[in-house]
Amino acid sequence: MLKKSVKLGLALTFLTLTFGGEAWAQQGKENNQKDFSEFMDRKGNIYRTASGKPGEAYWQNAADYQMEVSLDEANHVLSGKVTITYTNNSPESLDFIWLQLEQNRFTPDSRGTLTTPVQGNRYNGDVDGGYTISNVAAKVGAKGGTSSRHLIEDTRMQVWFAEPIPAKGGKATVSMDFSFKVPQKGMDRMGRLKVKDGWIYAFAQWYPKVAVFDEIEGWNVEPYLGAGEFYLEYGNFDYKVTVPYNHIVVGSGKLMNPNEVLSKELQNRYSKASQSEETVYLISPEEIKNTALTRPKQEGMVTWHFKIQNARDVAFATSDSFIWDAARINLPSGKTALAQSVYPMESNGEGAWTRSTEYSKASIEYYSKQWFEFPYETATNVAAEIGGMEYPGLNFCHYNSKGASLWGVTDHEFGHNWFPMIVGNNERRYAWMDEGFNTFINHYSSNAFNNGEYPSTLNETRRFNGYFTSENREGIDNYPDVTDTRNLGMVAYMKPAIGLIMLREYILGHERFDNAFRSYINTWAYKHPQPTDFFNHMENVAGENLSWFWKGWFYGNGNIDLGISSVQPYGGNYLVNLVNKGDFPMPVILEMTYDDGSKERVKLPVEIWQRGDSWSYLHKTSKKVTGIVIDPDKVIPDINLGNDSWPVEIYK
């Protein structure tokens, strides 16, 4: 569970409502002041400020990777070498570093295998894999002694140095050879798929990578079990992939040697696609096996070379069975990138993957304009037997997806380039900071695409009241590997996204929310925010104490129940008596309907509940009120619709 902290600060001002000189004190059943003041620790420190920004002493370490790997297609084995250059920016020297060895999940005695239910779940995986590691060499600086001392424990590897890595900028290198059998079932995140024309290999979690060392936990070494995803350092990647000559490889970043791996015809098409608003075939369905037209060699092996800067991971795919198409992405700065898709004949069709590049282009362009510009050279969608998984500039989506399903998964996985690829939160602990935020931005992207071709209904929040009132519901603050897998979709995706919908559409409004959310992304781009950094930053930029909301929605299982207890005439006006029967406060938006058919809205601030659970609002009007409703747009998931309107009969 998350560590709950106590919010320090001044108590809010006591409010009274004065009607015609008379003060109407609001009498409630209990004191709700704790909802407003007893949650957030806003003190800040030299590493992370109370305003939700990195402090003057904020630091994070870095890892650059050079890798060369080769695919043995006959035996489904990937083997190669990695050299990691590690920079220790922390204020302490390090005797060792920890690495993540996620391929070790695919063994019969891994913690992930042993904690998978007998009936299985989404994270089933092969158990005949795992790394073979050799030739480990670790060195501090250019002249330090070389150490081969290391320890492998499940999906973690500890590498020791002959002398400590100095603090505040010390550098070290770690190199090793590795190989593993590519799982066919790769926990719905990677693996291989047999199609009519050959195999599709989707490579992720394919190389040993450095764990994050930070001032919050020290080494973040939670094992790779299943639901928990990844927490990684940023750096530069330079990697080479050697495959049979008839393969096409797509990977995170920029292809560095097109002249060596693409035929002249394919180079021309690649150039044309990079300048085209419409999708251009690089390899058409009829050309899948026409290597004479599309490959520069007709035998042996070919090496594809990729680079990506300031990324936290890389993934790639390779196959001799790809249809390949692409189009230009237009970015707000005037720069361009390339949207591309690779998919087998089974995925071909206008209702299916033939529109993938169109979807990819639209998704990247929307998020770049709305939130933060896409930073990488390519955005690649790969068809595989994977429900949907994201890496910097590259997705794996299910090869059978079509229409709305394909749009949805493509848009969702590309949305992850913002969370957690640009904003590098800890997915293994706080899945809601990427899955939830991404689900939120997907809502608006879907409504914008092609004039709402695939509209989102996430704003219809009351459809989820069955879950919110279920005895089996869990809190957003649960770690993903702890959460019941049946609840993970709500805990990590839907509930936090609904929380942001409420913030934007009901509590703050578009301008204040967008200013704060954009500022959060820009401030924490390529850094490691914690939950309190998000909370503090949103509050400071939006100018609103939201402790009551973070506590109620993100750190508990409480529900919303606002109601109208009665409406009565008062001095020619109307006294609207409100009640909060829920577990935490919310502002109240009222819509008045008059006898002439006109309507008027009033927003009452959350502070009406600060001293109790009832409030009387005097609505001044010369018109006759015929009806009143709370939350007329049904933005908040109020669990009791029966007390939301007056008179109840007009809403039956």
**Which is nearest to 117 in space by CA: 470, 491, 484?**
484
CA dist 240 and 402 (Å) reads 32
Q: pLDDT at position 38, please?
A: 55
pLDDT greater than 80 at residue 30: no
How wide is the angle at C-alpha 462 spanned by C-alphas 459 and 466, nearest 5°?
A: 135
Span 550-566, pLDDT tens digits: 999 999 899 999 999 99
Span 125-151, pLDDT tens digits: 999 999 999 999 999 998 889 999 999
pTM here is 0.93
Q: pLDDT at position 278, please?
A: 98
Q: pLDDT at position 556, please?
A: 87
Kindly state the helix (H) or strand (E) to which residue 508 belongs, with its residue range. none
Q: Give the pLDDT band of residue 24 (cuts 50, 70, 90).
A: very low
pLDDT greater than 50 at residue 77: yes
Q: pLDDT at position 15, please?
A: 26
Span 603-637, pLDDT tens digits: 999 999 998 999 999 999 999 999 999 999 999 99
Give the Å distances, CA to CA, from 206 to 148, 228, 235: 22, 17, 17
CA dist 239 and 533 (Å) reads 34
Q: pLDDT at position 42, please?
A: 66
**Which is nearest to 628 in space by CA: 586, 607, 608, 600?**
600
Q: Give the pLDDT band of residue 512 (cuts 50, 70, 90).
A: very high
Burial state string for 556-590 with b = 16 or more CB within 10 A and e = fewer than 16: ebebbbbbbeebeebeeebbbebbbbbbbbbbbbb
Task: Provide mean pLDDT across the span 440-446.
Answer: 98
> Which residues, at least 6 apart from 470, have a Cβ–Cβ distance to it below 8 Å?
none
At 495, give phi and psi (nearest 5°).
-65, -45
Q: CB–CB of 131/107 below 8 Å?
A: no
Q: pLDDT at position 227, please?
A: 93
Q: pLDDT at position 121, please?
A: 86
Looking at every residue in the chain, the average pLDDT score rounds to 93
Q: pLDDT at position 8, please?
A: 27
Span 83-132, pLDDT tens digits: 999 999 999 999 999 999 999 999 999 999 999 988 888 888 999 999 99
Q: pLDDT at position 40, please?
A: 55
Task: Provide mean pLDDT across the span 36-65.
Answer: 87
Q: Give the pLDDT band of residue 39 (cuts 50, 70, 90).
A: low
DSSP state of 143: T
E strands along 429-571, which residues? 562-570
User: Pairing state of beta strands 191-195 and 198-203?
Assistant: antiparallel
Q: Give the pLDDT band of residue 648 (cuts 50, 70, 90).
A: confident
Task: Provide mean pLDDT across the span 368-389.
Answer: 98
Q: Give the pLDDT band of residue 14 (cuts 50, 70, 90).
A: very low
Q: pLDDT at position 35, please?
A: 62
CA dist 11 and 611 (Å) reads 11
pLDDT greater than 70 at residue 19: no
Q: CB–CB of 564/630 below 8 Å?
A: yes
Q: What percentage of the chain carries pLDDT values higher than 90? A: 90
